[in-house]
Amino acid sequence: MPNADARVDATRDRRIAVPTGERQYHIGLGPGELAEYVLLPGDQDRTTRIASRFDSIELEHRHREFASVTGMYRGQRVSVVSTGIGTDNVEIAVAEILAITERPTFIRVGSCGALQPEMELGDLAITTGAVRLETTTSWFVHDGFPAVADYEAVIALIEAAERLGHRYHVGLTATAPGFYGAQGRPIPQLPIRYPDLAEDMARQRVMNFEMEASALLVLASLARCRAGVVCAVYANRTTGAFVEGAVKDAAEAACVEVGLESLLVLAELDAQKQAASTDRWRPSLWTQEPARTA
């Protein structure tokens, strides 16, 4: 496979310790079953809601927390794979997707807590890079290694949000390894080590807290793949407000719409690069009516 570690390509490495064959152990999928444009929600139930927007579905599969759907969306073959909660789950999902695809593009569609006062419930947060508060990525890279979103993915998410008219913010994300103590949320029964963590991150102009972005961005960078992140604001840590009811539903819908639209934008950019015989997109290549390739 093109993304495999060269050290284990020729002969099977005993350290891998998973069943032989091309069908992946956790996501339960094999080569050809996923598109090269992939949305990554956390919630497996969100996969079903996303797939309801597809024009047609060719595959539906669920194993553990990894729910997957592949189909056509407005003329483009796309897939959705849920990752569950946390960077450890993202590591599993991304590693196994890389094993059965060529060079996938990843867009995470999730939820987050806002750290800046101008961010309102239901807004969208587009990540340019992530503070690595988690340790999953430390098993792959040096602690100083940056978690950076691909510039094409950021451009596509901004363009998608503008096309659809959704209010959004762009900036740095902090990826925490938990929801409570790891994000500085006080717990009466459990003392926490860093009760001022949210304030510290806000002072450093970090835009939001979430729990998966840094792992996706680091692993995608290592695999030389594109990855981006857009999250709906479900909580505002400045005011203590938390989203509910119709506002939550609308926020999720906006996030999903922008994620799907960004995949179409990225397909447009890819067509423009192909026409220009280049592997790097630049603004001068932009056309409003590009030749799309499925």
Closest by CA position to 49, among listed 80, 28, 75, 26? 80
Convert 60-80 to b/e letters by CB count within 10 Å (16 or more is b): eeeeebbbbbbbebeebbbbb
CB-CB neighbours of 104 under 10 Å: 22
For residue 224, give the 3-state DSSP assignment.
coil
Token reading at 56: 């047609």
User: Which residue has 């940056």 as its token pair?
Assistant: 146
113 vs 119: CA distance, rounded Å: 10
Q: DSSP per residue over 26-66, as a string?
A: TT---TTSS-SEEEEESSHHHHHHHHTT-SEEEEEEEETTE
Nearest to 77 by CA among 104, 99, 109, 96: 104
Assigned token pair, 136: 């999953």
Q: List residues with catalytic annotation.
A: 26, 96, 185, 237
| Chain Cα centroid distance, residue 23 | 23
Number of H helices, E strands in the chain: 6, 11
Q: Based on C-alpha coordinates, what's the Rg of the chain?
A: 19
Query: Any idea what the Cα angle at residue 263 is, between residues 123 and 51, rounded to 5°?
Result: 80
What does the alpha-carbon distance between residue 109 and residue 124 come to, in Å, rounded to a whole number? 10
